[in-house]
Structure 1
């Protein structure tokens, strides 16, 4: 399969021209922020050990999932008033995580450069495999295989480009 990069770049330019407004001309968002992003996990304790113990995202609450009796719904503080949530769904043999079209590619979480360096050391100590890009992004997988990125850029910025 051949990819026509010239055509792809031309279409990106058309999309930018058709939809992207300059910062001063953009309307305010109707949203207040990300309340929580929900993922599924196979083991509640392993998930808490990973996210709270390794990544230092404090567990803020755990209660029964209102949609599935016996399932837990639990939350981690990922800063700036945002939460990362999980469900375990016991008895529903869901199989391993898989990247699919329309599914999660990765979840990028902003951290300071100092915290990025610290957490990279913890990933090393724990034997977690990862990939570093541009000394700002570190990609790795959680215990269920979901891909995460720790990005050492401020919110609204990516590799020196303002995205917000």
Structure 2
């Protein structure tokens, strides 16, 4: 994808700074969010068992529920615990094609999951042992591993604590530090 250069890049950077100045408030001046958090994020999967094995056995996210999708008879809806009261959900839609995931406007660029150093290292070792391709520190980001799940869902395993980005606290205390 071509990146902006010259005057176009200058305009993009100026616009970003204008937005920062207009809308971004210091942490101490921000009102609390009106949401309680993410109940669940839901993706579509091709194969229920393959997806369960990847998330539960490979990444260590416990499967916590598996039911019929209330909106589509015969479809399975299942959830993984991804920590701090957050759920990662999936549906399958038997009988439907599942084209490859495409990065596009309005689509998912990636889902970043905060993991500790031990889980980060274990995931990297498991990916190396299984021959799974990933992007990691070689692209200049020491704390991230980018992978795709068996359904093509882009994931980032990110070694930054919740509420922190690039080493800076961008959220007030979340109650889930550590």
Q: TM-score, normalised by structure 2?
A: 0.88
Counterpart residue number, 2:51: 47
State whether structure 2 residue 151 is matched by structure 1 residue 144.
yes
Q: Please identify which structure carries the higher strand content.
A: 1
| Residues 27 and 170, structure 2, Cα contact 8 Å, conserved in 1 | no
The answer to whether the 8 A contact 1:37-1:85 is kept is yes
Q: Does the 8 Å CA contact 2:82/2:88 hold for their aligned counterparts?
A: yes
The gaps in structure 1 that reach 5 residues or longer are none
Aligned residues: 164
Is 1:18 aligned with 2:22?
A: yes
Residues 105-142 of structure 1: CA distance to partner in whole angstroms, max 9, x if unpaired? 00000001121111111111121100113220000110
- Secondary structure in structure 1 of the residue aligned to 2:41: strand
Q: Show the 5 A alignment for 1:75-154.
A: 75-133=79-137, 134-154=141-161
Contact 1:105 1:147 in 2 (8 A): yes
Residues in 2 aligned to 1:118 and 1:28: alpha-carbon distance in whole angstroms: 35
Determine the structure 1 residue equivalent to 2:9.
5
- Deviations 1:8-58, CA, capped at 9 Å, x for gaps: 111011101111111111111011111000000000000001000100000
RMSD: 1.2
Stretches of structure 2 lacking an aligned partner (at least 5 in a row): 172-178
Three-state SS of the structure 2 residue aligned to 1:129 is coil
8 Å contact kept, 1:136–1:159: no
- Alignment partner for residue 158 of structure 1, among 136, 140, 165? 165
